[in-house]
């Protein structure tokens, strides 16, 4: 479908390979490492994190700390280690406590 839409054709490979794993055990093509489009690697890690912290009908959401630990555990096998590092840095900065103010 994306390939038939000129404005979206460029992102088709990213979408196609969003379930590829860094270690080559993903699908649909079993790509490995840097042969997986970088956008696909980012989507995989972000989608996994979101799935972990979101409540599902069959389970409670995982804590942010637990989800971060799962990403770290999957770095180098399921996920691109550099993508995990960048995502974790972003998550830490977003969830970091605010610095104390003079009034506090």
Domains of the chain are 2-93 (1.10.3210.10)
64 touches 91 (CB < 8 A)? yes
Q: Render each residue's pLDDT in the chain as its tens digit; 104 residues.
A: 788 888 889 999 999 999 999 999 999 999 999 999 999 999 999 999 999 999 999 999 999 999 999 999 999 999 999 999 999 999 888 775 555 655 54
pTM for the full predicted model: 0.85
List b or e across 47-79, with b for residues whose CB sees 16 or more CB atoms inside 10 angstroms: ebbeebeeeeeeeeebeeeebbebbeebbeebb
Displacement of CA 30 from its chain's centroid (Å): 18
């Amino acid at each position: 479908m994306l390939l038939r839409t000129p404005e979206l054709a460029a992102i088709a490979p990213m979408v196609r390979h969003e379930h590829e794993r860094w270690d080559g055990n993903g699908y649909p093509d079993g790509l490995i490492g840097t042969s997986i489009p970088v956008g696909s690697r980012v989507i995989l890690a972000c989608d996994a994190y979101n799935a972990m912290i979101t409540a599902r009908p069959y389970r409670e959401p995982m804590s942010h700390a637990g989800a971060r630990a799962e990403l770290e555990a999957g770095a180098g096998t399921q996920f691109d280690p550099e993508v995990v590092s960048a995502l974790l840095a972003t998550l830490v900065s977003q969830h970091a406590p605010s610095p104390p103010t003079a009034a506090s």
